[in-house]
Structure 1
Amino acid sequence: MPTAPPPDLVARLHATGDAHLLRFWDELDDAGRDRLATQLADLDFAAARRLYEAKRSGPDASGDGAAAAGRAAPPAAVVRLATTDREAADRQAASAVGEELLKSGAVGAILVAGGQGTRLGFDKPKGMFPVGPVSGATLFELLAGQLKARARAAGVAIPLYVMTSPATDAPTRAEFAARDYYGLGEENVVFFRQGTMPAVDDATGRALLAAKDEVAVSPDGHGGLVAALKNRGVLEDMRERSVSTLYYHQVDNPTAIVCDPAFLGAHKRLGGQVSTKVVAKVAPAEKMGVVCDVDGVTQIIEYSDLPDDVAAKTDADGGLLLWAGNTAIHCFERSFLERLADEGQRFDETGAGAGLPFHVAHKKVPHLNDAGEPVEPAEPNAYKFERFIFDALPLADVAPVVETDRAREFNPVKNAEGADSPATAKAALTALHHGWLKAAGAVVAEGVTVEILPAFALDAAGVKAKVTPGTRFDQDAVLK
């Protein structure tokens, strides 16, 4: 006789109108029942039901981004790129503060690595995609290599916290293990999986089945970081290591400066709870969120919420009024993340609170019908729920904004071809490294590519210390 599902699970599903998820229980083998029961226990159906009801009765819980855009102004608390000697000296002072912070052991790095390489025609985690112009080094290799070099310079271990998704968790762990954790030390790399939310039918709010033993789910967004840090015990790990400041970046940007001392120092000197790196947008219609102030509060408005006429507004000098593009590079104080996690937990339990809001997306979600037959919808049929990490900005008392050089630091790999592609990222890495070599007095022959790995140098000063003026490169090379 088949084993019955756990009574507490049945009661919880009945309470939210989702008992139908067990309709095929008796057809499953023991492994299938275990798989389904484990997934059901991990999903918050009560929160999904509340979000569905809120969607049906009013606007998205995240608020009206387009309305906010009409009141948006450039960020007031911003550090622009240095254009004077005084500003350059201020950057140097911030860098010194950041270097001392790194040496104190108070800094950890958060790498968001939940994305697959699907849009690149790559069937593995995006972090495993090769982008080294000559070496073929992967995104993981380049970013972890930076962290190793930064830790070596600081004389302390810098723990790396890697947020994965259900799709990338196992292969990411395996890749790090196979590469000996890129020299960081297994004890200094902490993996944690972001949460998922059930996809619900748009007409009934009932959760959908992807298979007889699997609920249709989607990752809860990069804003799921906050809950995952708490639920997976990562905040406790940070406390035990006395890590108080976290450097957050995403896996798809190979030129991101990992644990940049200047940014860390600016964050500390300005008393930030969360700080954001920005770059100047190149065009009004560019698909990147803008960092701005709305009613005096710093926040990020997604490009999809930015009306064309607002995006095209100019200032007195003819430049874009809303110029500050979001790079998805942040510094967080651990205490601020702890506060958000506690507030978010209260929201999840009661439906009220000040945690990160959920955003609702209307999507086509394949599923099983009541007869167990697969359905491939032609039109959007379900709601998905996710949180965005940038919604933390308006919840902070102090949220500084720091501009960085776009060519130097913002070259993400998002598309197979064209803008933000492997080709543009490789070209950016090549231009950066050739610039460092030129500054050191080296000569790179026409048509030759020289790549500099983080183990060799992290910046122009590092190259200058190792490369003799007049050195000539007549064939492709990797400096490592």
Structure 2
Amino acid sequence: MIAASSLAAQTSQHQEVSVSPDIRHIKERYQAAGQGHLFAFYDDLPPVEQRQLVEQLEALNVERVNRIHQKATTGSSPMLDNQTALLAPLPEDCFDSILEAPKDKIHEWQTIGLKQISLNKVAVILLAGGQGTRLGSSAPKGCYDINLPSNKSLFQIQAERILKLQQLAQQQPGASAIVTIPWYVMTSGPTRPATVAFFEDNNYFGLSSSNVVFFEQGTLPCLTFDGKIMMESKSQIAVAPDGNGGVYAALRGTGVLTNMAERKVEYLHVYCVDNCLVRVADPVFIGYCVQKNADCGAKVVRKTAPDEPVGVVCLRNSAFNVVEYSEIDEDVAHAINPRNGQLSFGAGNIANHFYTVDFLNRVESFEADLEYHIARKKIKSLDMNTGQIVVPKQVNGMKLEMFVFDVFPFTERMAVFEVDRREEFSPLKNAPGSGQDCPETSRRDILMQHIRFIEAAGGRVIVGDNDSQIEGVPSLELSPLVTYSGEGLAEIVSGKSIKTPLQANSLEELRRATF
């Protein structure tokens, strides 16, 4: 790019840029695509801003944007047409529940998973593009402190689970000399600098920086309802993140898939940052999917009631999919599976997935068939008639996004694994004090889990007089470095008592607290 000072010195540059063959070609291309309005103010811009606009338009596949808009607004895929969709429960041969599986089977899955991890075949993708706006924070959501006694952020909790799991896998027979679980962290453009800085400031929470790879999800232009690309200024089009389903294109475009190939990774665990109970790279889930020879897997939780507002993993027109609760008729929602007495459509989606690397590489072959969803928004944008920036009071445009589960219809071997909601799912979505899916419920669910860990290991938890018991929950926090999912505690706490408040960061600290 020509330096700004050089541009300013060339008084005739403005005309030269605007009539160059490259510019004429781009203008013609956008005119043909019905998006020529993006050049409406081009001739009035200083050379530097002209170049900025041209670079953005050169990088944009405008024909693809038009195809996505056409597909999203016309419902052109019969596979996902809600008006004609035929819903069916999950086939029994692709579904298992940890709530019903015998202990020896769970142990078998865990052993298989730990083996794959010990051979460095497993990596993790974290979907961490969101900001904590609804939580009253401008920082990335993973930086959020849910007010545990340790004041650990979501990022730190998850990093320490990876560290502990690496230690457990290192103990497996035939393990690699150094067991590594690469952590691929997908940010959005706005959250990347703060996310990287947070990891650097915290020394990557004990992980090797070479095994934490940051990459950005893509963006798509914001559109008017008739498909015109909106502008946020005379030299900049308005864009928004393309949804967590943008991870697939981002993996390919940023070189992450190549990095995985170099590391000889075969299996991926993908999850969202806002679940404080997530079992990162869960060996039981990994082992289950590997044993099923699945190319795609989904963790689900049992719906609490037929009308619980949660998407359901099921079959839609004979293909695996996630169907929103609003798309399921009341009679269907209440249907009961006679085999187990549970809801036939009760597999609640929690955005917690398994993939083979081979499947992720195959996404490109069917990417053109993936669906984009419309989010109607109030979008600050340029009035193309007046050239003024307008902050709308009503919905004036759309953002297009893909969901991470939109690849499900294209799986060849799907596996669905039901887990215990109390142990594995507590999302952080709402503002403090809202009473549901908020910092208080996240904190409660972690502390209550740690109490269950102690009691399941044969220990007794005694509430001390000086335990403030925020919202009635005893203050007992076990670092993930102490235990990943309750293992290793029995030899320390069995037959003994522990008094709260207690924050244990090591097995030795826990041992000293027993009596």
User: 1:375-386, aligned counterparts within 5 Å?
Assistant: 375-386=390-401
CA distance in 2, matches of 1:465, 1:259: 25
Report the residue type matching 2:363 in the other structure. L
**2:436 corresponds to which of 414, 419, 426:** 419
Distance between the aligned counterparts of 2:207 and 2:133, measured in 1? 28
Relative to 1, partners in 2 of residues 1:391 and 1:55: Cα closer, same or farther, differing over 3 Å? closer
Residues 263 and 402, structure 1, Cα contact 8 Å, conserved in 2: yes
2:295, 2:333 → 1: CA distance? 28
* Local SS of the residue matching 1:282: coil
Whether 1:274 and 2:289 are equivalent positions in the alignment is: no
Partners of 2:41 and 2:234 within 8 A in 1? yes
Matched residues, number? 467
- Structure 2 unmatched ranges of 5 or more: 1-10, 171-178, 507-515
Distance 1:188 1:376 in 2: 42
Residue 303 of structure 1 corresponds to which residue in structure 2?
325
Q: Which position in structure 2 is the counterpart of 1:396?
A: 411
* 8 A Cα contact 1:134 1:478, kept in partner: no
Q: By how many angstroms is 1:29 displaced?
A: 5.3
3-state DSSP of counterpart to 1:400: strand
Contact 1:16–1:49 (CA under 8 A) maintained in structure 2: yes
> Following TM superposition, by how much is the alpha carbon of 1:133 offset from its aligned partner in structure 2, in angstroms?
1.9
1:190-205 superposed matches below 5 A: 190-203=213-226, 205=227
Greater RCO between the two (CA within 8 Å, min separation 6)?
A: 1
Q: 2:202 aligns with which of 163, 174, 179?
A: 179
Stretch of structure 1 that moved more, 393-402 or 2-11: 2-11
Distance 2:78 2:256 in 1: 26
Aligned counterpart in structure 1 of residue 282 of structure 2, from 260, 281, 284:
260
| Aligned partner (choices 169, 184, 187) of residue 192 of structure 2 | 169
**What's the counterpart of residue 479 of structure 1?**
505
Amino acid of the residue matched to residue 87 of structure 2? R
Name the structure 2 match of 1:320: 343
| Residue of structure 1 in register with 2:252 after alignment | 230
2: distance between equivalents of 1:281 and 1:13? 48
> Equivalents in 2 of 1:126, 1:16: separation in Å?
38
Contact 1:108 1:159 in 2 (8 A): yes
* Distance change (3 Å), C-alpha of 1:193 and 1:393: same
Mapped partners of 1:397, 1:304: distance in 2: 27
Rg comparison, structure with higher value: 2
Determine the structure 1 residue equivalent to 2:119.
Answer: 104
Equivalent-residue separation in structure 1 for 2:69 and 2:329 (angstroms)? 26
1:116 and 2:156 matched: no
CA distance in 2, matches of 1:227, 1:267: 23
Deviations, residues 243-302 of structure 1 (Å, cap 9, x unaligned): 111111110001011111111011001010001111001122322210112344322112
**TM-score normalised according to structure 1 size:** 0.90
Match of 1:71 among 76, 82, 87: 87
1:126 to 141, 160, 178: 141
State whether residues 99 and 419 of structure 2, in contact with CA within 8 Å, keep that contact through their aligned partners in structure 1.
no
Q: What are the superposed Cα offsets for residues 216-257 of structure 1, whole Å, 9 maximum, x if unpaired?
A: 112111111111111111111100000111111110001011
Retained in 2: the 8 A contact 1:60–1:359?
no
Q: Say which of 41, 50, 57 aligns to 1:40.
A: 57
Q: Indicate whether 1:332 and 2:358 are aligned.
A: no
Counterpart CA distance in 2 for 1:109 and 1:340 is: 18
Counterpart-to-counterpart distance in 2, 1:211 and 1:327? 38
Q: How does 1:232-251 map to 2 (within 5 A)?
A: 232-251=254-273
Partners in 2 of 1:379 and 1:308 — Cα distance?
32
Report how far residue 372 of structure 1 moved.
1.7
Kept after mapping to 2: 8 A contact 1:148/1:184: yes
Please report how far the alpha carbon of residue 137 of structure 1 lies from its aligned counterpart in structure 2 after TM superposition. Answer: 0.8
Alpha-carbon distance in 2 for matches of 1:35, 1:131: 41
**Percent of aligned pairs sharing the same letter:** 33
Unpaired segments ≥5 residues, structure 1: 348-353
How high is the TM-score relative to the length of structure 2? 0.84
Which is worse superposed, 146-155 or 236-245?
Answer: 146-155
1:350 paired residue number: none
Mapped to 2, the partners of 1:248 and 1:27 lie a distance apart of 46
Residues 1:285 and 1:436: Cα distance change in structure 2 (over 3 Å) = same
Matched, 1:22 2:44: no
- Displacement of 1:435 after TM fit? 1.1
Determine whether 1:365 maps to 2:379: yes
2:446 partner amino acid: L
Q: Is the 8 A contact 1:70 1:310 kept in 2?
A: no
1:353-405: per-residue Cα shift (whole Å, max 9, x none)?
Answer: x4x22223333322111222122334433232211221211201100101100
Q: Is the Cα–Cα contact under 8 Å of residues 86 and 317 in structure 2 kept in the other structure? A: no
Q: Distance in 2 between matches of 1:307 and 1:167?
A: 39
What amino acid is the match of 2:221?
P
Offset of 1:472 from its aligned partner?
Answer: 2.5
Q: Distance in 2 between matches of 1:169 and 1:473?
A: 41
**RMSD value, Cα:** 2.4
Distance 1:132 1:19 in 2: 51
Query: Does structure 1 residue 142 correspond to structure 2 residue 168?
Result: no
